Amino acid sequence: MAGDAHDPNAYRDERRKLAVLCRILGQLGYVGEFGHISYRVPETEIVLITPGAGSEKTMVAADQIFVYDIDANLLHHPRGFNIPLEFPIHTRIHRDRPEVGCVAHLHAPNSTLLGIVDRPIVPVINQAFYLHEGVPTWDDPSLVVNDDQAGDLSATLGDKVACQMRGHGSVVIGETLEIGLMNCYTVEENAGLQIAADKLGGAKPFDQQVVEGIARYRTAMRDAIAEVLWTYFERRALMTGVPL
């Protein structure tokens, strides 16, 4: 539902869907006390962002979603919830990459650990072969609280799907909320298996031609795969019975 962005009932469906994704990523342990997700409402300059520190991410509801415009102006502040201090991550990346619908700033443990030890995320499972072009690292553990920092982070991310924030967390994007979920899940699952493989001597690399071939196939199937994952995890998120 579109409407006046200052109206707490505007964009109700979009807020609800973003709240579902927040609950999913909370249940997976990718966001908790810290971390947040945003959604750019299609064909608008409206950016919806989940609440900041102190909110229980597995119970976020539609009426707890913040509303910004693409230029980082706050349009709606839900009563009783903290502003996500690093909202510039979202408004800047959405501004720099208009094709992106979802931006997630995660504190997921496996990908964060690889960043801490300065190990690049490399695809070790077929689901992650689309990462073969690389996951860059923003070598700054600071909180991203202004547009200059966000611009530097966005430039490091470039046209990639994900970016490590060394000593801090990561940023993962998607053209839709469903693709955003798929990318968040795949990056973290791959990072976990990469760490496990290192304990056994390291992952055996695949031939680059094989990687690129599977990456093309999975890209072609991306929307269908993302929809299956969304349906599966949405069902789990709604089983809590907490109203959205």
Structure tokens at 87: 């909202």
Residue 210 CA to residue 30 CA, distance in Å, equals 30
Model confidence, pTM: 0.94
Q: Per the CATH hierarchy, to which homologous superfamily does domain 12-238 belong?
A: Class II aldolase/adducin N-terminal domain (3.40.225.10)
Q: What is the pLDDT of residue 1?
A: 41
Find out whether 181 and 24 touch, Cβ atoms under 8 Å. Answer: yes
pLDDT one-digit tens code per residue, 36-76:
999 999 999 999 999 999 899 999 999 999 999 999 999 99
pLDDT tens string, the chain, 244 residues long: the values are: 445 666 767 899 999 999 999 999 999 999 999 999 999 999 999 999 999 998 999 999 999 999 999 999 999 999 999 999 999 999 999 999 999 999 999 999 999 999 999 999 999 999 999 999 999 999 999 999 999 999 999 999 999 999 999 999 999 999 999 999 999 999 999 999 999 999 999 999 889 899 999 999 988 999 999 999 999 999 999 987 777 8
Determine the 3-state secondary structure of 91 from DSSP. Answer: helix
* Residue ranges covered by each domain of the chain: 12-238
Q: What is the pLDDT of residue 4?
A: 64
Pairing assessment for the beta strands 102-106 and 137-138 based on DSSP bridges: unpaired
Q: CA geometry: angle at 127 spanning 137 and 187, to 5°? A: 30
- Lay out the sheet containing 36-40: strands in order across: 74-76, 66-69, 46-49, 36-40, 102-106, 169-174, 162-165, 137-138
Residue 49 CA to residue 154 CA, distance in Å, equals 17
Q: Which of 48, 215, 17 is nearest to 129 (CA)?
A: 215
Q: Which of 37, 160, 46, 31 is nearest to 104 (CA)?
A: 37
Q: What is the pLDDT of residue 146?
A: 97
Residue 140 CA to residue 186 CA, distance in Å, equals 24
